[in-house]
Amino acid sequence: MNALEKYEAVNRTESLEELAEIIKLLANEQGMIMGRSYWHPIQPMIDSCLDSTLFNPVLFTRSWGIRQQASMLIAQGKYKRKEK
């Protein structure tokens, strides 16, 4: 997948659950995504997507618009909270 296809895949997501699946696809074998200066572990991003009470935009890399998409989906209310 080239860079444009990665941006498009991220921007097509309509929920945080979908974004979590794309993040998994973009990660390397060690579960990391390269940011601008260091590697980001995907598990905190996925956890934030699957339980919005954990949402923290700083946990998301800006690579391929992931942080922007996550923030937009939260702002639009396209998330689920885990039942307690």
Residue 84 domain flag: no
User: Does any domain span residue 11?
Assistant: yes
* Residue range(s) defining the domain that contains residue 55: 3-75
> What whole-number distance in Å separates Cα of residue 13 and Cα of residue 3?
16
Whether 82 has a pLDDT exceeding 60, the answer reads: no
- Select the highest-mean-pLDDT range: 23-32, 51-60, 72-81: 23-32
- 25 belongs to a structural domain: yes
pLDDT, mean of residues 41-51: 93
State the amino acid at position 72 in one-letter form.
Answer: M
pTM: 0.88
Residue 82 lies in a domain: no
Within a domain: 36: yes
Tell me which residue of 45, 43, 47 sits closest to 63, measured CA to CA.
45
Number of domains in the chain: 1
pLDDT at 47 over 90: yes
CA distance 69 to 72: 5
